[in-house]
Amino acid sequence: MKRNKIYIILLVVILAAYFGYNYIYQEHRDISAETADYTINASDFIAEFINDSETAQTKYLNKTIVIHGDITAQTDNSITLNTSIFCSLLEPNTISQDTIVSMKGRCIGYDDLLEEIKLDQCTLTKINQ
């Protein structure tokens, strides 16, 4: 009986160590693999922020969002949709021409200075010609 007890205690210790290690050294969220909390059109998304930026920001902050919109500007590391949504890309930009796209990213907040909504860790989910 004592032997069984030792085995059980050992098992608990190993499990605790395993879960403890995984908790401490957890991985960063993989935004591109997450299911989006919201899928929305760029114009509707922007309208929500123009209407009430505080409420919209609280609603979308830190959430994974898929946005369908027109590319109005782009750089090596970013894509701007409908002039007011700034998407910071996870990997360098490979889009060759201005198109309608679906971008998946995490909302990090509303930029009052330039009146833009900012997303980071963005990836392309679809290109529509």
Partner 1 sequence: MKHLVLTFLLLITLNITAQSKYITKTGSVIFEASVPSFEEVKATNKNTTAIINAENGEFAALVLVKGFRFKNALMEEHFNENYADSDDYPKATFKGKVTDFSIEDLNGSKKNKQYNGTITFHGKTKSLNNEVLSISKNADGSLNISGKLKLNVADFDIEIPKIVSNKLSREVDVIFEFVLTKK
Q: Which residues bind partner 1 (CB under 8 A)?
A: 23-29, 57-58, 61-62, 75, 77-78, 86, 88, 106, 108-109, 111-114, 116, 118, 120
CB of 99 to partner 1, least distance (A): 21
CB atoms within 10 A of CB 104: 24
**Nearer to partner 1 (CB atom), residue 48 or residue 116:** 116
Judged by CB, which is closer to partner 1: 26, or 128? 26
We find the least distance from the C-beta atom of residue 78 to partner 1, in angstroms, to be 7
CB 123 within 8 A of CB 64: no
Shortest distance (Å) from residue 98 CB to partner 1: 18
Q: How far is the CB of 100 from partner 1 (least distance, A)?
A: 22
Which of 1, 128, 107, 113 lies closest to 45 in space, CA to CA? Answer: 107
In 3-state terms, what secondary structure has residue 109?
strand
Q: Which is nearer to partner 1, 96 or 112 (CB)?
A: 112
Residue placing its CB nearer to partner 1 in the complex, 23 or 92: 23
DSSP secondary structure of 13-60: HHHHHHHHHHHHTPPPP-GGGSPPSEEEEHHHHHHHHHH-HHHHHHHH
